[in-house]
């Protein structure tokens, strides 16, 4: 019975209204869709960026069970016979791996800079690879690439030639296999930068894979192990050893047994991990960053929530009479409520579905932006496309549905509580929104709660990550509370406007509405306030960040020239300059001083960080570090006294919970080194934190004289550009930056990492402005009778449009005023709580006035323009039309 | 795949015991690629000659055998067959040595045939010692228990398995002296002067140890056969494959035969059959080969002889004898993914003309899945 009543109601009531106002319905679906789309696209992009942290070896070997690697640096090859002997008869494949990164060499005349195509090179024993079970259905081996056309039962002679081909391919010098995804026809050769040298490597063919194997990333290059060892100067060394337990009976038991054996055998020499933990550590590394993006991506939906609430509420008010009649016909409250919720649910599902499509499309752009940031800050990703997983289909629809149900709940209850027609007072004032919407006290309470929450410490994630949950909760309460309070701005602004704008009758009409703002006005203000506040808050964060980074750059980049391998393109690359090349740079006649800098990735208690070394004495004289806690004892500057001292970055302090005076135990190839933290410096280039020691000691610990980069101070009256050109000629594999150019590059990368956050804010503001149009439409519909009367009194269409424009303009202005106040609060929260807790960086507060003024003008201007158009449309509304 | 040809060559060379004995006197010292060639009158010294001979291009250690679960040796007891082979091949420019290995186990009761293949360059995970018998491939190995054991006092340890499904840990003790096949230490393989090998065989080894099959581990006893063959030569192009058999009779004698099939469907004159008497002395006899039944491999589509009869003369009695070889399981085919050739290598039961079981055999059938083009 109830079911049939509901379906009748939906058909004859809800659907009729939707048909009568197709544009408003479409707009609602559109807003929901946009909110869902933004969330979905960020989610897809995030997932793609994380999944693109490929444990590259997996694409060659199938999943390894265990991985052995040195806590820092490489392992000697002599561990291999030791491992095999220790494993005895256990059926385990041992796969030694060397991994390297390289950038494409510059074509002649090309400008140096970051952002060149980079490759991950994997060196494994390509002959032994075929022994793995995962390779059993690979059709061709690495050394058979030229054989395709020869197979097919020709004469004996051809096949003898074939045997020769195998040996030729096998005995050839360094050569690479490329991914099928790299190009439709693989290039014949690749010119790559390793350290300071450019090497040209012949391409043999495509990496052979089984049909069901995971796709080989486009930037993966495969070499035979000895070749890559030779190219990277790791002869006799290994980056890691992977273990594949033969599948079969008791496999998990044997895996556990192997892990115990390896841990016992290794002692402090190596760390035993699994590809899972490596992937997890990549995930935890970027978790804070990705969570931040996810939260930002929800703003558009949050703003959308206000608007949907508003639209449904408006519909309830307008159809009040009809509902009253239905009630008097005996339709139960429950049924009416259900019909409204069903209507909201249908809108939500439509919006969710459309949002999925839009979100997928948006993800194709977002994925690049997210990928760039991950690349710049964390590790090499190769992500190029994002795809929709089945779970995300459900999530997108669920989000649309959930949002519309949350927003529709109150209007549905309102509809259900409509009294029957007999008792419905004719022309009763529309009771838009609940009483709570007008509660200043509730708003103030929320703001107060936010202040308390902002004082709490962050949530600690595994692997050294931190997530400012309380900080975000504070932001939420401020946005919500601020939204409630912003409604109170309307009468104030209206009263203020009245002082100079009462002569014109339409203005008086507009302001009279605003002096007693309806719930609808309040909601519109709240939505815009939220969007403006977030966007402006973000702008404040970025401006503060930029100011800080600028002053950091000025302080820390003081040399005239910076030299690094042109292969080093991002945070995760491991390209060095040879000791000889560094010496030649230092002894160049134009060079007065040269500071060598070397950095190695290091794991400290399972958390990845960076261990670096430089000539601390020279640095002290030449360019001071930007200090957070300067060292008190000058011993740190003297090589003979600083062997047991270290400086750490601010991010390190946050991540590892250490302070000056604490001792760190650094696992190095030369044994565990205990160092005491002497001071803390600021470093905005590295979120993992870093430890800085004197390079003399680092060199001894790692038995490695290579350097990551060299800073050169030139003699007076030497032109930096001339020296740079000279160095580039001499070392074609080096990237040489002048001071000015490097500063610009650093800032460019910095801005690039914020590109996506900006995009998210712009979308939220856009949604809010559309919402303003929707609000006014709704308001004017409510006032059909009044409008007809005004037209009858002689008001022109333009005058009515003007009145609407003023009304919209004041709403926008009130929202902007509230939004700016909110933005300062959010900016403070982002800088001193959220950012500090997530990344461990202290920033100076800076307000980008220009941007805020532009935002104000844009929002108020668009508000006025949109309202004017809505007003023109509203002026022609017939009083007797339904909607 | 390329490795196909390489290891076909290796196996064929060893089997083709030369008929052209008159030619060996002129054998050159090296092949065109510069590898050593087997020389007549070679005096083997042990344990050194159990080890690798990297001057030669090809070499392998080939162990096959029949095992019975301890305490169930009689009829109806648990019976297994195994094959464990280690190959070595030098690159034409001698820059590197490659090692290939095959393992196979047949569980006669269930007919379940397990096998695995591995290929590695010489180094930390594969290799062969020169001074003594010590060949290894991952967790598989074959070595002398006492690396310095003198001739006649050898005892070998075989460790092998198939993935994680099966494991073998066997001690192999010769119960008969080493046989040197061929004449004057050299075994001819064809008309070409370089086509010769050193062919050393333990025709009967006592095998004892443990076998693990799935989750089950048990002690086994049985008998094994081991070839060690060293050569560098090239092969004729008119042969399409071969059939090879090793028989261990219950009367402590053995028989080894191979038959080289030519393109025209016949057998190469180099084909031969050799008896080994109870004292370990070899003697060649004429023979004929008859296919009684065939089996089509579902994996490769190859049609293999499945039951065959070998007719020859028993040198002890001078009587004509006819033995039937019956595979203990039909599917004992090795797909040869890495080495590249599919071949059938399986444990057989041997019956005399009266149908009485007189011994066990291993039979090897190659060139049936695809013509061997060498």
**Segment A301-359, tens digit of pLDDT:** 777 777 777 777 777 777 777 788 888 887 788 888 888 888 888 888 888 888 888 88
Burial class of residue A226 (count of CB atoms within 10 Å of its CB; 0-12, 13-18, 19+): middle
d(CA A576, CA A853): 47
Percent of chain A predicted with pLDDT > 90: 12
Assess whether A585 and A665 both reside in one domain.
Answer: yes
- The pLDDT of B45-67, averaged and rounded, is 94
d(CA B56, CA B9): 13
Q: At a CB cut-off of 8 Å and minimum separation 6, what does A219 contact?
A: A117, A118, A119, A120, A179, A182, A380, A382
Assess whether A249 and A308 both reside in one domain.
Answer: no
> What are the residues facing A497 on neighbouring strands?
none
Domain annotation covers residue B336: yes
Q: Residue A178's closest CA among A110, A262, A121, A228?
A: A121
The highest-confidence range among A301-305, A339-343, A868-872, B342-346, by mean pLDDT, is B342-346
> What are the residues facing A608 on neighbouring strands?
A603
Which of A156, A163, A251 shows the shortest C-beta gap to B6?
Answer: A163
Contacts of A131 in chain B (CB under 8 A): 117-120, 138, 338
Assess whether A123 and A210 both reside in one domain.
Answer: yes
Count of C-beta atoms within a 10 Å radius of residue A856: 18
A interface with B, Cβ–Cβ below 8 Å: 77, 80-81, 84, 87-94, 125, 127-128, 130-131, 133, 136, 140-141, 143-144, 147, 153, 155-156, 159-160, 162-167, 170-171, 245-251, 254
d(CA A293, CA A280): 19
Q: Between residues A329 and A8, which one has the greater pLDDT?
A: A329
- The pLDDT of B172-179, averaged and rounded, is 96
Domain annotation covers residue A196: yes
Domain annotation covers residue B61: yes
- Amino acid B18: pLDDT: 38
* The token pair that represents A646 in the structure block: 């270290």
B interface with A, Cβ–Cβ below 8 Å: 1-3, 5-6, 91-93, 95-96, 98, 117-121, 124-125, 138-139, 159, 161, 163-165, 167, 169, 214-215, 237, 337-338, 370-371, 373-374
Domain annotation covers residue A641: yes
Contacts of A84 in chain B (CB under 8 A): 124-125, 138-139
Kindly report, residue by residue over B208-244, the tens digit of the pLDDT: 999 999 889 999 999 999 999 998 864 566 677 889 9
Domain annotation covers residue A464: no
Q: Cβ A165–B2 below 8 Å, yes or no? A: yes
The last residue of a domain, from among A273, A290, A321 = A273
Q: Cβ B91–A167 below 8 Å, yes or no? A: yes
Domain annotation covers residue B234: yes
- Amino acid B72: pLDDT: 64
Domain annotation covers residue A147: no
- Amino acid A20: pLDDT: 67
- The pLDDT of B294-307, averaged and rounded, is 92
Q: Cβ B138–A93 below 8 Å, yes or no? A: yes
User: Alpha-carbon Rg of chain A, whole angstroms?
Assistant: 33
The alpha carbon of residue A154 is apart from the nearest alpha carbon of chain B, in Å, by 9
- Amino acid B366: pLDDT: 86
Domain annotation covers residue A166: no
Helix, strand, or coil (residue A675): strand
d(CA B287, CA B310): 7
Q: Give yes or no for a contact between A201 and A190, defined as CB atoms under 8 angstroms apart.
A: yes
The last residue of a domain, from among A709, A732, A755 = A732
Assess whether A421 and A519 both reside in one domain.
Answer: no
Contacts of A166 in chain B (CB under 8 A): 2-3, 6
Kindly report, residue by residue over B242-274, the tens digit of the pLDDT: 899 999 999 999 999 988 888 888 888 888 899
> What are the residues facing A42 on neighbouring strands?
none
- Amino acid A157: pLDDT: 30
Residue B326, domain CATH: 2.40.370.10
Domain annotation covers residue B319: yes
Domain span holding position A717: 567-732
d(CA B16, CA B38): 14
> Is residue A883 predicted with pLDDT exceeding 70?
no
The alpha carbon of residue B99 is apart from the nearest alpha carbon of chain A, in Å, by 10
Q: Please state whether beta strands A690-694 and A607-614 pair in parallel, antiparallel, or not at all (unpaired).
A: parallel
Kindly report, residue by residue over A462-474, the tens digit of the pLDDT: 656 667 788 888 8
What is the per-residue burial (b if ≥16 Cβ within 10 Å, else e) of A691-708? bbbbbebbbebbebbbbb
Percent of chain A predicted with pLDDT > 70: 82
DSSP A751: H
> Is residue A518 predicted with pLDDT exceeding 50?
yes
Q: Give yes or no for a contact between A130 and A138, defined as CB atoms under 8 angstroms apart.
A: yes
The alpha carbon of residue B335 is apart from the nearest alpha carbon of chain A, in Å, by 11
What is the per-residue burial (b if ≥16 Cβ within 10 Å, else e) of B85-124? bbbbbbbbeeebbbbbbbbbbbbbeeeebbbbbbbbbbbb
Q: Please state whether beta strands B282-285 and A459-460 pair in parallel, antiparallel, or not at all (unpaired).
A: unpaired
Report the residue of chain A nearest B372, measured CA to CA: A156
* The token pair that represents A845 in the structure block: 């507060």
Domain annotation covers residue B371: no
> Is residue A135 predicted with pLDDT exceeding 90?
no
What ipTM was reported for this prediction?
0.88
Domain annotation covers residue A106: yes
> What are the residues facing A667 on neighbouring strands?
A672
Q: How many interface pairs between A and B have CB atoms less than 8 angstroms apart? A: 101
Helix ranges (DSSP H) in A454-518: 469-486, 489-498, 505-515
Kindly report, residue by residue over A743-790, the tens digit of the pLDDT: 887 777 777 667 777 777 777 777 777 777 777 777 777 777 777 888
Which of A141, A160, A249 shows the shortest C-beta gap to B1?
Answer: A141
- Report CA-CA distances (Å) from A263 to A66, A247, A256, A259, B124: 11, 21, 11, 6, 21
Domain annotation covers residue B191: yes
Assess whether A604 and A697 both reside in one domain.
Answer: yes
Which of B3, B98, B169 shows the shortest C-beta gap to A89?
Answer: B169
The alpha carbon of residue B67 is apart from the nearest alpha carbon of chain A, in Å, by 20
> Is residue B89 predicted with pLDDT exceeding 80?
yes
Instruction: Measure the CA angle with vertex A103, ends A97 and A108; round to 5°.
Output: 145
Assess whether A612 and A544 both reside in one domain.
Answer: no
Domain span holding position B38: 2-366
Contacts of B167 in chain A (CB under 8 A): 89, 91
Kindly report, residue by residue over A426-438, the tens digit of the pLDDT: 555 455 455 556 6
Assess whether A644 and A784 both reside in one domain.
Answer: no
- Report CA-CA distances (Å) from A760 to A363, A400, A531: 12, 18, 10
Q: Cβ B1–A125 below 8 Å, yes or no? A: no
Q: Cβ A89–B139 below 8 Å, yes or no? A: yes
- The pLDDT of A406-410, averaged and rounded, is 81
> Is residue B85 predicted with pLDDT exceeding 60?
yes
Q: Cβ A127–B98 below 8 Å, yes or no? A: yes
Domain annotation covers residue B212: yes
Q: Give yes or no for a contact between B114 and B82, defined as CB atoms under 8 angstroms apart.
A: no
Kindly report, residue by residue over B107-154, the tens digit of the pLDDT: 998 999 999 999 999 999 999 999 999 999 999 999 999 999 998 899
The last residue of a domain, from among A732, A762, A788 = A732
Overall number of domains in chain B: 1
Domain annotation covers residue A459: no
Domain annotation covers residue B339: yes
Contacts of B159 in chain A (CB under 8 A): 89
* The token pair that represents B359 in the structure block: 């011994």
Q: Where are the beta strands (DSSP E) in A408-496?
A: 459-460, 466-467
Overall number of domains in chain A: 4
Q: Cβ A130–B338 below 8 Å, yes or no? A: yes
- Amino acid A380: pLDDT: 57
Which site among B90, B125, B127, B215 would you substitute to test the A interface, given the most A Cβ atoms closer than 10 Å to its Cβ? B125
Domain annotation covers residue A605: yes
Assess whether A508 and A605 both reside in one domain.
Answer: no
Kindly report, residue by residue over A594-635, the tens digit of the pLDDT: 989 888 888 887 788 889 999 988 888 887 777 888 898 888
Count of C-beta atoms within a 10 Å radius of residue B279: 9
- Amino acid A366: pLDDT: 73
How high is the mean pLDDT of chain A?
79
Q: At a CB cut-off of 8 Å and minimum separation 6, what does A152 contact?
A: none
């Amino acid at each position: 019975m109830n079911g049939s009543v509901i379906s009748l109601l939906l058909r004859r009531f809800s659907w009729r209204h939707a048909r009568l106002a197709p544009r408003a319905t479409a707009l609602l679906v559109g807003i929901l869709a946009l909110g869902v789309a933004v969330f979905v696209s960020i989610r897809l992009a995030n997932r793609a960026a994380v999944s693109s942290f490929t444990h590259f070896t997996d694409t060659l070997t199938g999943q390894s069970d265990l991985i052995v690697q040195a806590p820092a640096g490489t392992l000697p090859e002599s561990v291999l016979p030791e491992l095999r002997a220790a494993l005895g008869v256990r059926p385990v494949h041992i796969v030694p791996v060397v991994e390297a990164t390289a950038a494409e060499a510059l074509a002649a005349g090309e400008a140096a800079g970051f952002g060149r195509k980079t490759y991950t090179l994997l060196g494994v024993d390509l002959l032994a690879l075929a022994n793995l079970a995962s390779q059993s259905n690979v059709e061709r081996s690495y050394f058979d690439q030229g054989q395709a056309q020869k197979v097919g039962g020709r004469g004996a002679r051809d096949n003898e030639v074939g045997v020769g081909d195998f040996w030729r391919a096998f005995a050839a010098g360094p050569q690479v296999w490329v991914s099928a995804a790299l190009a439709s026809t693989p290039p014949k050769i690749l010119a790559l930068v390793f350290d300071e040298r450019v090497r040209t490597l012949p391409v043999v063919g495509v990496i052979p894979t089984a049909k069901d194997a995971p796709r080989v990333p486009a930037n993966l290059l495969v070499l035979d192990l000895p070749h890559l060892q030779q190219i990277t100067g790791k002869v006799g060394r290994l980056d890691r050893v992977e273990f594949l337990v033969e599948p079969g009976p008791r496999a998990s038991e044997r895996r556990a047994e192997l892990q115990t054996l390896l841990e016992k055998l290794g002692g402090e020499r190596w760390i035993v991990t699994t590809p899972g933990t490596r992937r997890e550590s990549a995930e935890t590394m970027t978790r804070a960053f990705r969570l931040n993006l996810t939260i930002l991506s929800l703003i558009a939906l949050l703003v959308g929530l206000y608007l949907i609430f508003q639209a449904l509420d408006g519909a309830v008010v307008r159809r009040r009479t009809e509902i009253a009649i239905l009630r008097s016909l005996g339709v139960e409250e429950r049924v009416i409520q259900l019909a409204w919720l069903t209507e909201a649910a249908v809108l939500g599902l439509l919006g969710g579905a459309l949002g999925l499509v839009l979100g997928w499309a948006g993800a194709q752009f977002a994925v690049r932006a997210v990928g760039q940031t991950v690349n710049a800050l964390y590790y090499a990703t190769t992500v190029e496309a994002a795809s929709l997983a089945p779970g995300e289909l459900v999530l997108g629809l669920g989000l649309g549905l959930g949002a519309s149900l949350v927003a529709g709940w109150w209007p549905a209850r309102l509809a259900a509580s409509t009294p029957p027609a007999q008792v419905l007072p004719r022309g009763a004032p529309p009771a838009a929104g609940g009483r709570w919407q007008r509660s200043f006290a509730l708003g103030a309470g929320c703001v107060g709660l936010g202040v308390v929450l902002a004082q709490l410490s962050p949530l600690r994630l595994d692997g050294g990550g931190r997530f400012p949950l309380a900080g975000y909760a504070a932001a939420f309460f401020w946005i919500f509370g601020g939204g409630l309070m912003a409604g109170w701005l309307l009468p104030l602004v209206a009263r203020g406007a009245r002082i100079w704008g009462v002569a014109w009758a339409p203005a008086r009409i507009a302001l009279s509405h605003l002096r007693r703002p309806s719930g609808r006005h309040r909601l519109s203000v709240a939505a815009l306030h939220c969007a403006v506040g977030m966007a402006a808050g973000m702008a404040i964060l970025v401006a503060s960040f930029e100011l800080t980074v600028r002053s950091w750059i000025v302080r820390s980049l003081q040399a005239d020239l910076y030299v690094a391998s042109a292969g080093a393109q991002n945070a995760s690359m491991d390209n060095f300059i040879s000791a000889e090349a560094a010496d030649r740079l230092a002894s160049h006649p134009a060079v007065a001083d040269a500071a060598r800098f070397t950095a190695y990735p290091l794991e400290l208690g399972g958390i990845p960080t960076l261990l670096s070394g430089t000539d601390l004495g020279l640095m002290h004289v030449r360019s001071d570090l930007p200090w957070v806690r300067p060292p008190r004892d000058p011993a740190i500057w003297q090589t003979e006294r600083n062997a047991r001292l270290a400086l750490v970055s601010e991010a390190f302090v946050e991540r590892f919970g250490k302070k000056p005076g604490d001792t760190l135990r650094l696992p190095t190839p030369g044994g565990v080194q205990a160092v005491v933290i002497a001071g803390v410096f600021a470093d905005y280039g590295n979120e993992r934190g870093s430890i800085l020691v004197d390079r003399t000691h680092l060199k001894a610990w790692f038995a490695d004289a290579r350097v990551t980069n060299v800073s050169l101070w030139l003699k007076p009256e030497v032109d930096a550009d001339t020296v740079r050109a000279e160095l580039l000629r001499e070392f074609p594999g080096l990237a040489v930056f002048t001071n000015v150019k490097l500063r610009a590059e650093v800032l460019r990368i910095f801005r690039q990492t914020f590109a996506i956050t900006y995009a998210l804010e712009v979308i939220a503001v856009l949604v809010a402005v559309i919402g303003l149009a929707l609000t006014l439409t709704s308001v004017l519909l409510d006032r059909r009778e009044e409008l007809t009367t005004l037209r009858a009194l002689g008001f022109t269409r333009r005058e009515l449009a003007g009145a609407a424009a003023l009304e919209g303009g004041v709403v926008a202005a009130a929202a902007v005023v509230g939004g700016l106040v909110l933005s300062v609060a959010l900016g403070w929260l982002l800088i001193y709580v959220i950012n500090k807790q997530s990344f461990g960086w202290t920033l100076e507060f800076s307000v980008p006035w220009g941007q805020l003024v532009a935002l104000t003008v844009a929002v108020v201007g668009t508000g006025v323009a949109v309202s004017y158009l809505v007003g023109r449309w509203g002026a022609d509304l017939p009083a007797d039309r339904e909607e | 795949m390329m490795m196909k040809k390489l290891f076909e060559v290796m196996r064929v060379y060893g089997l083709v015991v030369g008929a052209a004995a008159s030619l060996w006197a002129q054998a050159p010292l090296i092949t065109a690629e510069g590898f050593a060639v087997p020389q007549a009158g070679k005096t083997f010294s042990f344990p050194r000659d159990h080890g690798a001979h990297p001057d030669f291009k090809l070499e392998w250690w080939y162990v096959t055998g029949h095992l019975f679960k301890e305490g169930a040796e009689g009829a109806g007891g648990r019976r297994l067959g195994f094959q464990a082979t280690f190959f070595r091949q030098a690159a034409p420019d001698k820059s590197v040595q490659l090692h290939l290995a095959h393992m196979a186990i047949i569980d006669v009761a269930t007919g379940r045939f397990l096998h695995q293949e591995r290929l590695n360059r010489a180094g930390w995970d594969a290799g062969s010692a020169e001074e003594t018998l010590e060949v290894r491939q991952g967790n598989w190995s074959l070595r002398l228990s006492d690396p310095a054991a003198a001739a006649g006092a050898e005892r070998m340890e075989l460790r092998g398995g198939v993935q994680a499904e099966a494991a073998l840990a066997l001690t192999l003790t010769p119960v008969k002296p080493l046989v040197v096949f061929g004449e004057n230490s050299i075994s001819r393989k064809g008309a070409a002067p370089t086509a010769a090998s050193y062919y050393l065989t333990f025709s009967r080894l006592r095998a004892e140890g443990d076998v693990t099959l799935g989750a089950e581990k048990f002690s086994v006893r049985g008998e094994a056969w081991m070839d060690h063959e060293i050569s560098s030569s090239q092969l004729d192009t008119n042969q399409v494959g071969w059939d090879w058999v090793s028989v261990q009779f219950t009367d402590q004698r053995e028989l080894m035969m191979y038959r080289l099939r030519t393109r025209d469907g016949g057998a190469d004159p180099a084909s031969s059959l050799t008896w080994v008497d109870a004292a370990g002395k070899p003697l060649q006899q004429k023979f004929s080969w008859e296919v009684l039944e065939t089996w089509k491999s579902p994996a490769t589509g190859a049609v293999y002889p499945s039951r065959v009869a070998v007719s020859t003369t028993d040198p002890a009695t001078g009587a004509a004898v006819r033995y039937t070889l019956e595979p203990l399981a039909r599917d004992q085919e090795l797909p040869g993914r890495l080495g590249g050739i599919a071949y059938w290598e399986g444990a057989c039961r041997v019956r005399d003309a009266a149908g009485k079981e007189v011994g066990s055999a291993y039979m090897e059938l190659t060139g049936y899945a695809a013509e061997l083009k060498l």
